[in-house]
Structure 1
Amino acid sequence: MDAKGRAAIPAALRSTLEVNGAASRVVIALHDRSPCLVGFDPALLSSRATKLTAQADLRTNAGEEVDFNRARLSIGLTETASYDASGRFVLPAFFAMKAKIEKGAALFMGSNEYFEIWNLDVLDADPDVAPQIKEYARFRRAEWSAK
């Protein structure tokens, strides 16, 4: 991330967004279990909202309680950012703060329907991250430092 708060989505991840019709937009959210951010295309946000509404309706019809915080966190606590032709976008300040992503390197990693954005130190310290991923992050850090 640069001094202006801009990060760049790697080309491979960007092409996936574009194939899904993102039109140079990415949704940024907090990961629901890990201390990182997630990025995904706006269509996935719409799909998630539809699924959560259906699940809430099922629970209501069954006389069960609905966890409205789940929707607030996964749908409401998101921000959509536009990116340029080289993938640069301004990482929303609240999300950067929550993931401890500051000026310097951030690791983008694809993960199923979304990609993750990590502070390298946070990733390295997380006991739930696989050793191979930590090794990859250390390799990338060394590679970036050599430039």
Structure 2
Amino acid sequence: MSANAPKANGKDGGTIIIGAHQKNRCLVAYDPGYVALLAEKLDRREAENTREDGEYDYNIKRRAASGEAVPFDGSGRFIMPAFPRFYAGIKGHAFFYGVLDYIEIWDPAALVATDDMPPVVKEMARFYMAEKGISL
């Protein structure tokens, strides 16, 4: 969304939403405009998983509802909220990985230790941490 893009003056920013990933012990970050798309997607998932008695898995939306709106400055910097940082185990460095319509934010060591992560993503984390003199 162009309204949320970094500004040339370096002062005025926008907002990003940061919350827990629905499956992995990492964070997701997305533009506020993505909320409506995410809600629609979760509504469909809920409808597809509704039993004959009308009950469904209430955790479908609960897992996606942990997001916090966070302001960022004109150069795209923001302060990571405390709970999301704690949840993802991010203590020092964070690895940002774009996944088309959202960004995942990982503790690099946790990413490398996650079994179902694609090898190329693990190698990216290793590479960029090695550039900082940190071996994973």
TM-score normalised by L of structure 1: 0.73
Shift of 1:65: 1.4
Q: Does 1:81 align with 2:86?
A: no
RCO higher in 1 or 2 (8 Å CA, sep ≥ 6)? 1
Could you tell me the percent identity over the aligned residues?
37
| In 2, Cα distance between equivalents of 1:22 and 1:63 | 43
| In 2, Cα distance between equivalents of 1:36 and 1:48 | 18
| In 2, Cα distance between equivalents of 1:53 and 1:60 | 11
Aligned residues: 126
Structure 1 stretches of 4+ with a deviation exceeding 3 A read: 50-64
Flag structure 1 segments of 5+ consecutive residues without an equivalent. 1-17
Q: Does 1:28 align with 2:18?
A: yes
**What is aligned with 2:89?**
100
Aligned match of 1:38 in 7, 28, 32? 28
Please, which moves more after superposition, 52-61 or 92-101? 52-61
| In 1, Cα distance between equivalents of 2:107 and 2:62 | 24
Q: Which has the higher strand share?
A: 1
Flag structure 2 segments of 5+ consecutive residues without an equivalent. 6-13
Q: Which has the higher helix share?
A: 1
Shift of 1:145: 2.6
What is the Cα-based RMSD across aligned positions, in Å? 2.4
